[in-house]
Structure 1
Amino acid sequence: MSRTDAPPAPDERAIALAMLRYVRETALEKAEGLTDELAHATPLPTSPLMSVAAVVNHLRWIEHYWVEVVVAGGDDRAPWSEEHPDGEFEVAAQMTLDDVLTGYRQQIAASDAVLADLDLDAATARPRRDFHPNVRWVVAHLVEETARHNGHLDVLRELADGQVGD
């Protein structure tokens, strides 16, 4: 995979979507090549659900929520609930890494289809707690969320097999 954060054009939309694409590709790259055993390892004693597979599955469902639910107004199909607020982490333990990566790639394609023709200034279909975000805010939030979790993936990957990267 050849990751780049260079946008295809110098406008704000192209830059924002290039950054989102870059952090997504980084997450995928950090997970690829691990065995299922290493992808499901949970080496952090204070975070017993945190594995490479679980973090990538979390990214999948966070993106589903923000794009398909908040932006587009669709149903929330994520595996979390009041009884299982970390459901996306829990179900990842039962999935192969290939299934987790395929699910994330499918979510990326679904999100890209929703975002393709939306103006960054467009209001989302649903408000969020105390404010009503626009599409720009959601894209920026997804970049921030994914980049933050890429830091977790850096640590987990290094602990799993010693691989480090940018």
Structure 2
Amino acid sequence: MSRTDVPTAPDDRTTALTLLRYVRESALAKAEGLPDALAHATPLATSPLMSVAGVLNHLRWNEHYWVEVVIAGGEDRAPWSEEHPDGEFEIAEQITIDEIITGYRQQIAACDAILADLDLDAPTAKPRRDFHPNVRWVVAHLIEETARHNGHLDILRELADGEVGD
């Protein structure tokens, strides 16, 4: 797939889903081709779990939570818990970067299948604390979350090998 932020139509749905696809593909591009040792490097002494692998795995499980759990009302299978609030970062240490990339791509496909037929104005299956978002808000949040973490991935990739990915 070619990475572009230009929608094929000017409507809100096409624009939002194009931007979501773009930030996802950007995150993947920042990790692809990075050897495992560098993908798992944690160069920030104050953030011992912050690695390219960890951030990408976080994005994968973030999509699971917001789309499969909040939008669709499915079971939360994410690796975090009260005892391990950063579980997605912790398990990333034991998974190859290729496995993380594959898992994220599979998660994207699962989320896209759920989003395919949903109206952006439809309410989600589950409220979030005192707020009951609609699908549009969740898609916008995923764009914001992924774009923010792309900045982290830029820095981590540059610290790892001097590149920022594509």
- 1:50 paired with 2:27, answer no
* 3-state SS of paired residue (1:164): coil
| 1:121-159 CA distance string (max 9 Å, x none) | 000000001110000000000000000000000000000
Aligned to 1:27: 27
Partner Cα distance (1:62, 1:151) in 2: 16
For 1:150-165, list aligned pairs within 5 A: 150-164=150-164
- What percentage of aligned pairs have identical amino acids? 81
CA contact (8 A) 2:58 2:88 kept: yes
Q: Which runs of 5+ in 1 are unaligned?
A: none
C-alpha distance in 2 between matches for 1:145 and 1:46: 21
Query: CA deviation digits over 1:60-109, x for unaligned, max 9?
Result: 00000000000000000000000000000000000000000000000000
Gaps of 5+ in 2: none
* Letter matched to residue 149 of structure 2: H
Aligned to 1:37: 37
Task: Output the CA distance in 2 between the equivalents of 1:78 and 1:92.
Answer: 12
In the aligned structure 2, how far is the partner of 1:84 from the partner of 1:165? 30
AA of the residue aligned to 2:16 = A
Distance 1:119 1:153 in 2: 31
Q: RMSD of aligned C-alpha atoms? A: 0.9
- Aligned match of 1:118: 118
Query: Aligned AA for 2:130?
Result: D
SS at match of 1:21: helix
In 1, Cα distance between equivalents of 2:140 and 2:77: 23
Helix, strand or coil for the counterpart of 1:136? Answer: helix
Are positions 1:9 and 2:9 aligned together? yes
1:65-76 equivalences in 2 (<5 Å): 65-76=65-76
**Between Structure 1 and Structure 2, how many residues are aligned?**
166
Letter in 2 for 1:29: A
Q: 2 CA distance for matches of 1:125 and 1:164?
A: 38
CA displacement at 1:8 relative to structure 2: 1.3
Mapped partners of 2:8, 2:109: distance in 1: 18
The CA deviation at 1:165 is: 5.2
1:145 aligns with 2:107: no
Counterparts of 2:57 and 2:18, CA distance in 1: 21
